[in-house]
A = this chain, B = another copy of it.
């Protein structure tokens, strides 16, 4: 870390489809799979498995029925088997008499048709006579209520084609046709090699927190899960340090057994990135750098005739590279079609500029608000894996566009079933722990329903309501002139709208300070003291509005607060920053201080409410959620949080449009 370094070579920017095509062509040339004949790939041989264990496996060859089903003429009803000719002429007026055991034979459903019979009469259509005989009042048609041989399956018939992924009915059909075992593609083995001096396995920490510079190994779990969904199996090697010789040895060892190797991190072109040179030494790097964002530093290589994928270390980049390259690779090895995705048309909630020449993937929350789907982009950072966890879909900005405007119609590829999205209440606004409590309760009480929260701050939440992007907005905005919360902001920002303010909690805001309050901070006035480093919330956050109000009241210029311009987006991010020693104080809620063991200096109580436009308030899904706010379980859970008071929970104030301003605000409970 002491000498001057060279600027790294730029990565190439190969467009996505071309990158895949080049890799596959190189793999074909190397014999990894034969062009046009995916039935005989080098990398995915065939194995024989019992039908009972073959679910989700892929047939290596077409299967032909051994038996017919039924394999005999089967009675399809409980009743009497007869020769249809013996019933000729039977009618209401001239019944025909049959003798049990002679020309009528009792049969249960599934019995073989007795010799000489060619029809079954349902038991309901037979009259018992006193002398033990039977009487029928309608003739039987030949072959009525009989399932002839081969009705379902004819012996010799091709039952299932090659490259067919077996589901439940397929397995049952195979068994019925006399097939006990099937030839299936062997599951491809993917060996995953995590590398990096900074990477530690979670187990190695033995419960301790990572030290600065340490990163917990987690990307291999992503690879394993994606591979498993594709029908492959994975093994993960121990973490390999950033030493080219050791990385090369690990890859070479993996290539001896694996059908594909995934090398994690070091895939860029920095001074500590050895993956490309190592793979170049072991074989051929076909592509280094793909024109996607995130996900540019990807390596597509062929080593020892096998595919090697070099992944970037940022988890979102890694995920997209897996999706774009590992998923189609495994499909190809198994002879399956590329995976099909469900899609949805939605309206983009915000303007999203994006450089031309690159395909950008946005992670979006999707919600059905007022009859249309809205896609709200999440954090774009390649390192923000939680954005992928929270995402309902992926939206692509194509290479030939410099981004999208707000309101653009986009196609979202779904990461969650559409029906779940339809059962999602969309919340954009301020973050509060009570919202997490409510979300958990909602999910438990109504499986399938969920509350999705984008923590954008109070003002941004009200703006989202104005644009029809959210069902409700959590808000705690102090009106400095009235000293009241929220109502005047709603009136100003949502003019002409009828909006309910639904109370959730009253909560303490205060300074989050290190344990023991070493700088002895007593209030906002102390933030301008020299040597006090502050961590702020983003513009538009209720907590920021509160800070500005308190600073003004104390006669302090924000420019005198060291760190005023450092912004984070949640209470817990403020707490984490103080706990990590990066700041001496931040304004936030007491529960956040308690969560990470900080001390708390109270400065103000505030009212946190949901702003709910009337049309959302009338939505049955939203109504179900809001009813839970008045539920004792919610109140009890909230009251247990430090600095929280649940007494406003369930209180409803209506803000009416300005034209009937009188009686504009009414409180119901």
**Which residues from chain A sit less than 8 Å from chain B, CB to CB?**
1-5, 7-8, 36-39, 51-52, 55, 62, 66-74, 76, 78, 100-101, 105-112, 123-124, 126, 128, 132, 134, 142-143, 147-164, 167-176, 178, 180, 196, 198, 202-203, 205, 209-219, 221-222, 224-226, 228-229, 268, 270-272, 313, 315, 319, 331-332, 335-338, 340-342, 381, 383-386, 388-389, 417-420, 423, 436, 439-440, 443-445, 447-450, 565-566, 568, 570, 572-573, 575-577, 579-580, 582, 592, 595-596
* A417–B222 CA distance with the chains assembled, in angstroms: 24
Let me know if B572 and A78 touch, CB within 8 A.
Answer: no
Contact, CB under 8 Å: A216 / B72:
no
Give the distance in Å from the alpha carbon of A29 to the alpha carbon of B170 in the complex: 37
> How far, in Å, is A558 (CB) from chain B's closest CB?
15
Say whether, besides A384-B151, A385-B169, A443-B163, A101 and B2 are in contact (CB < 8 Å): yes
Whether A335 pairs with B444 at a CB distance below 8 angstroms is yes
Q: Is B108 touching A271 in the complex (CB atoms < 8 A)?
A: yes
Most buried by B among A175, A205, A341: A175
Q: Are B389 and A160 in contact (CB under 8 A)?
A: yes
Across the interface, do B169 and A389 meet the contact criterion of CB distance under 8 Å?
yes
B436 touches A158 (CB 8 A): yes
**One of B110, B211, B219, B570 near A196 (C-beta < 8 A):** B110
Contacts of A596 in B (CB 8 A): 155-156
Q: Is the interface of A mostly helix, strand, loop or mixed?
A: loop
Chain B residue at minimum C-beta to C-beta distance from A38: B447
Smallest CB gap from A106: residue in B: B1
Given contacts A51-B221, A173-B385, 16 further A-B contacts (CB under 8 A): A3-B106, A37-B444, A37-B445, A39-B444, A68-B576, A71-B580, A72-B212, A73-B582, A148-B582, A156-B596, A171-B225, A172-B221, A173-B389, A337-B419, A337-B447, A342-B418
Chain B residue at minimum C-beta to C-beta distance from A134: B4
Q: How far is the CB of A348 from chain B (nearest CB, A)?
A: 22
B72 touches A4 (CB 8 A): no
Contacts of A342 in B (CB 8 A): 342, 417-418
CB of A19 to closest CB in B, whole Å: 20
Shortest beta-carbon contacts, A-B, top 6: A337-B448, A156-B595, A168-B225, A340-B419, A150-B576, A154-B572
CA distance A69 to B217 in the complex (A): 12
Contact of A168 among B151, B226, B439, B445 (CB under 8 A): B226
Asked if B36 contacts A445 (CB within 8 A), the reply is yes
Q: Is A340 a contact of B71 with CB atoms below 8 Å? A: no
Whether A161 lies near B443 (C-beta < 8 A) is yes
A156 contacts B592, CB within 8 Å?
Answer: yes
A128 / chain B contacts, CB cutoff of 8 Å:
4
Q: Which residues of B contact A213 (CB under 8 A)?
A: 72, 110-112
Q: Are B78 and A8 within 8 A (Cβ)? A: yes
Q: Would A216 and B69 count as touching, CB distance under 8 A?
A: yes
Contact A447 B100 (CB under 8 A): no
Is the pair A147, B383 in contact by a Cβ cutoff of 8 Å?
A: yes
Complex CA–CA separation, A428 to B87 (angstroms): 38
**A486 CB to closest chain B CB, in angstroms?**
24
Task: A496 to B178: give the CA distance in the assembly, Å.
Answer: 48
CB-based contact B151/A335 at 8 Å: no
Given A52-B224, A161-B439, are A178 and B4 also a contact pair (CB < 8 Å)? no
A112-B157 Cα distance, complex, nearest whole Å: 66
Roughly how many angstroms separate A1 CA and B107 CA in the complex, as a whole number? 7
Q: Do residues B73 and A448 form an inter-chain contact, with CB atoms below 8 A?
A: no
Complex Cα gap A214–B112 (Å): 8
> Complex Cα distance A384/B74, Å?
13
Contact sample, A vs B, 19 pairs, CB 8 Å cutoff? A1-B105, A8-B124, A67-B216, A69-B216, A70-B383, A72-B212, A73-B582, A74-B215, A108-B270, A110-B213, A149-B573, A149-B576, A155-B596, A161-B450, A169-B222, A171-B218, A172-B222, A173-B389, A178-B216
Residue of B nearest to A332 (CB): B447
A168 and B340: CB pair below 8 A?
A: no
Among residues of B, the one whose C-beta sits closest to the C-beta of A101 is B2
Known: A108-B271, A178-B209, A331-B447. A123 touches B7 (CB 8 A): yes
With A108-B271, A440-B158, A592-B156 given, is the CB distance from A4 to B132 under 8 Å? yes
Contact between A151 and B580, CB atoms less than 8 A apart = no
B residues in contact with A169, CB < 8 Å: 222, 315, 319, 385, 388-389
CB-CB under 8 A from A142, the residues of chain B are 565-566
Bound CA–CA A335/B576 (angstroms) = 33
Residues of B within 8 A of A163 (CB): 443-444, 447
**Do B443 and A154 have beta carbons less than 8 Å apart?**
no
